[in-house]
Amino acid sequence: MAIDMKGKNLVSINDLSREEVNQILETAEIIKLRHYSHEEQPLLKGKVLGMIFQKPSLRTRVSFETGMIQLGGQAIYLGPDDIKLGKREATKDIGRVLSRYVSGIMARTFSHEIMLELAKYSSVPVINGLSELLHPCQVLGDLLTIKEKKGRLSNLKLAYIGDGNNVAHSLLFGAVKVGMDIVLAVPPGYEPKEEIINLAKEDAKKINSRIEIIHDPGEAVDGADAIYTDVWTSMGFEKESEVRKDAFKPYQINQNLLNRAKDDVIILHCLPAHRGEEITDEVIDGPHSVVIDQAENRLHAQKSVLALLL
């Protein structure tokens, strides 16, 4: 590979250079092609990934575990009752000890501070499988999907409709790394964190990408090449569910909204979807939807990350 990424952490896409993001995506394309050619790829033979989960998961657990197996390595699942991060044992001690056992650590946590502490004290690569602030592996899979469907990433318009959550944060970071314009339409009071917006805008200036945060979903999807949505209530915010349903009702991805985008627009959703809330059955099951391909590409993007970092 052109850039040596061995030993590097993946806590945030913002920490990666533009060249590193492109290398991850190009490596993912090669790994996926070889997978479908039924070639063995023992890139991680003898390597072990420790997987720490504070939150339940379908895609994150299965895709990382499968990815390690397909690349010749192994993965160990450590659930909420196996490791009580910061409770039964200090996070820094967990990071130090696990580093003596495994080749890398993937963590899915509530607090982003825990992710940062793991990365600080671990001597092996730490990969952010999700935190309350960021979801970088999801967005690398998303970028791979858009590139496959559109043939490029630069000079495209991505419209994100919904909550300014961890996915929105990582989409901001990811879009500007690849020269994509991104417009977020969010209800007032649910904007992404100001610090994330400012960091993304600093990066956007270097490559002339455009970032907009607005409140009108119709305006956001005008001329969009891709439309993205996520659940209105993320894990940890369940008590706000009913209030959020009222606030987000005008932000549903439905056929009327879809009609305002380009004819060849693609629809993305990181899943799980609350059908009938943020997106209708008609759209998520319709011809513009690429959500199942998007879910698959988590596997290939993460295999690329594992191969490059471990």
Question: Would you name the residues annotated as active-site residues?
Answer: 108, 135, 138, 230, 270, 298
Dihedral, 32, 306, 290, 160 alpha carbons, nearest 10: -150
- Cα dihedral: 263, 210, 269, 255 (round 10): -40
Provide the 10 A C-beta neighbour count for residue 208: 11
Query: Which phi-psi region, left, alpha or beta, contains residue 242 (left: φ > 0; alpha: ψ -120 to 50)?
Result: alpha
Cα angle for residues 227, 307, 86 (degrees, 5° grid): 80
Helices (DSSP H) in the chain: which residue ranges?
Answer: 18-36, 59-70, 91-101, 112-121, 136-150, 166-177, 194-207, 217-221, 241-248, 255-258, 281-284, 291-309
In whole angstroms, give the CA distance from residue 141 to residue 128: 14
Q: How far is CA 250 from the centre of its chain?
A: 25
Residues 6+ apart with CB under 8 A from 47: 68, 71, 72, 73, 74, 103, 104, 310
